[in-house]
Homo-oligomer: A and B are copies of this chain.
Amino acid sequence: MKLEDLLNHTSEWLKGTGPNADIVISSRIRLARNLDKIPFPHWANKKQSEETLKTIEEAISKVDYLKNATIFRLATLDGIDKQFLIERHLMSYEHAQKSNSKAVVIDSEEIVAVMINEEDHLRIQVMQSGFNLYEAWNIINRIDDALAKELSFGYLTDWGYLTACPTNTGTGMRGSVMLHLPALVMTRQIERVLAAISKLSFTTRGFYGEGTQATGNFFQISNQVSLGHSEEEIINNINGLIRQIIEQEEQAREMMLARNRPMLEDRIYRSFGILKSAHIISSQETSELLSMVRLGSDLGLLKEIDRRCINELFIITQPAHLQKMEGKKLSTQERDVKRAEIIREKLKCK
């Protein structure tokens, strides 16, 4: 698989299918693992890092579930390639900062992505469309078990898996769910909800992970504590919390429809109208308008466009995607024009 092949592919997490897909974009589980004989990536020397890379690459090639996966060494990727992978949520921003002895492994369905020599030797992530943490857990378990047969992980009975950062020690697991909460934002309930989430030891992030702001009414919620809980507890906890948030968003949507349907329709149709006609559009405005269009589609008000098409637009209108499609570097102004062009094209075809 070449990186460019992904351009014509819809990532698993953008399919818009799965349980509660009207509110939950995707579910993600990631595991942090480290080889027991080599220092953590930040402490390893060049030789040790290279050894880690080769050892893990070899192990991955033996995992049945990953036989359709491709290993991309970061040294072979340019800046746009790396940003492209970040935009597709296949690689972290931190991983892209340095290239030496680093790689990312991606399966052809974009369900699994493995980062080698990120903060930990191994960061395995499994994505599922919709609210589907258990299925993601099933898949990641099989991969983890298969890798454990090939590799010896740092593990202490009292502590569990050892990780570079103590917050990941224990299960090394993080469960994250990406939610689309426009109604909670529009009815000004979101602050209250986010405050409650943070009290319960969960963290909220924006669409692009750690340090990013919530744009387009997207909120990524993950567990903060990995130590002292079993994998099942972690998933059950986050599952229970997400179920409550889904319910609140549903109620907020119903309330808006009941109390001010014309205003809501106006906002949704206008957003759709602007996206279909703009000739210059920023990334920020695109997210905001697409969020309204997605809400319109989810409420059955906008029938001309499906969820998958909207989800794809969120991704392909990002800077690196635009540049990959155009096959060259583009300035901000050029991207704003290209972005508008692609949106118009995409919204016409259906």
Chain A residues packing against B (C-beta within 8 Å): 262-263, 265-266, 269-270, 272-274, 276-281, 337, 340
Contacts and interface: CB of A to CB of B under 8 A. Distances in A.
Nearest to A269: B277
Nearest to A261: B279
Main secondary structure of the interface of A (DSSP, over half): helix
Nearest to A275: B273
Contacts of A262: 279-280, 337
Contacts of A277: 269-270, 272-274, 276
20 contacts: A262-B280, A262-B337, A263-B280, A265-B279, A266-B278, A266-B280, A266-B281, A266-B340, A269-B279, A270-B274, A270-B277, A270-B278, A270-B279, A273-B273, A273-B274, A273-B276, A273-B277, A274-B274, A274-B277, A276-B277
Contacts of A340: 266
A112 to B, nearest CB: 40
A184 to B, nearest CB: 23
A294 to B, nearest CB: 16
A118 to B, nearest CB: 40
A273 B340 CA distance: 13
A250 to B, nearest CB: 23
B274 A278 contact: no
Nearest to A340: B266
A278 B276 CA distance: 13
Contacts of A278: 266, 269-270, 273
